[in-house]
Amino acid sequence: MTRPAIQLLYYELRTRSMATSMTLAATIIGFGALILGDTVSRAFTIIGGSLLARLMGLLLASGGIITFVGIARHHTLTGLIGLVLVSTGSLIYGAGVIIGLHINGFAAGTLSLGLCLGSALRVITLASVARKLYDIEQ
Amino acid sequence: MNPISIANITQSPAQIILTIISVAAGGGLLKFLTFLIQRRSALAALDRTSSQPLLQEYGAFADRLTTAEKAALEKATVLERRLVLEQEIYRQSIIKLSEENTELSKKIAHLTNEIGLARREIHELRVKAGLE
């Protein structure tokens, strides 16, 4: 990784600590789910959704990595595609936790759905800002 | 096929609900990706606006800068990018608030008018009843 890429990741971590660390956490959870399958979460073990857990893992892990590549390369489209994948993975995880554990999954489920909503809103906001900047440029 | 194997392939309701949610999420994912690809030129404009490296603007002069100065310029680039984005977000919020303000003003005018009519009606009723 080149020095500017590391610097960009560092600045992103400094300036948007919450979003960056949540994406990192999503990536770790994603890899965990890809390796462990439904044992990654009690909820998925109860539901018995090994395939769904791995699908969620694939979405979270690939989304997280793509987001970081987007940040390091300073390429907004790549970063946003990654965020969309993270958002979808978080939705599946949040829904799975709430469906599988019912009220016991309230805390983790709400956090995950919050991450899903936050990522989706960021994608919509940045796409809207980009459109306006494009119009100004034209 | 015996009943046990049928039971084995039968999915639980929770699994079915989660599968439906996942399929819906997949649909949403595709819609979002299409939306982003449609706006790729706009997003490229965002990259151009936000990532014009200051060092490139300085050209040959950049070679004479110290590492600390280069780092400061790169930091300024990132901050400039954030500033542009935040300015646009605030501008959008102001436009939205202004629209909401106009709507509320219209509602207040309408309610004031209704209050005036109600007061006149009360006055007429009191006159009729001989109270005034």
pLDDT tens per residue, range B26-51 = 999 999 999 899 888 888 877 776 55
- Between chains, do A131 and B78 touch, taking CB under 8 Å as contact? no
Distance from CA of A138 to the nearest CA of B (A): 10
CA-to-CA distance for A88 and A58, rounded, in angstroms? 11
- DSSP-derived secondary structure letter, B132: -
- Between chains, do B82 and A96 touch, taking CB under 8 Å as contact? no
* Greatest alpha-carbon span in chain A: 55
CA-to-CA distance for A117 and A124, rounded, in angstroms? 11
The gap from C-alpha A127 to its chain's centroid, in whole angstroms, comes to 17
- DSSP-derived secondary structure letter, A105: G
Distance from CA of A111 to the nearest CA of B (A): 17
Q: What are phi and psi of A2, to 5 degrees?
A: -75, 165
Supply the pLDDT for residue A57: 95
The pTM for the full model equals 0.67
Tokens 């994603």 map to which residue?
Answer: A30
Supply the pLDDT for residue B25: 93
Say how many Å lie between the first and final Cα of chain A, rounded.
34
Q: Which helix (H) or strand (E) holds A78?
A: helix A76-101
Assigned token pair, A48: 């018995």
Which of B44, B48, B78 faces A15 most closely, judged by CB atoms? B78
Supply the pLDDT for residue A137: 65
Which of B12, B51, B71 faces A74 most closely, judged by CB atoms? B51
Asked whether A132 and A124 are in contact (CB, 8 A), the reply is no
Instruction: Give the ipTM of the model, two decimals please.
Output: 0.85
Comparing CA positions, the residue from A2, B44, B51 lying closest to residue A10 is: A2
Assigned token pair, A54: 């791995």
Residues A81-128 have pLDDT tens digits of 999 999 999 999 999 999 999 899 999 999 999 999 999 998 988 888
**HSE toward the beta carbon, residue A19, CA cutoff 13 A:** 22
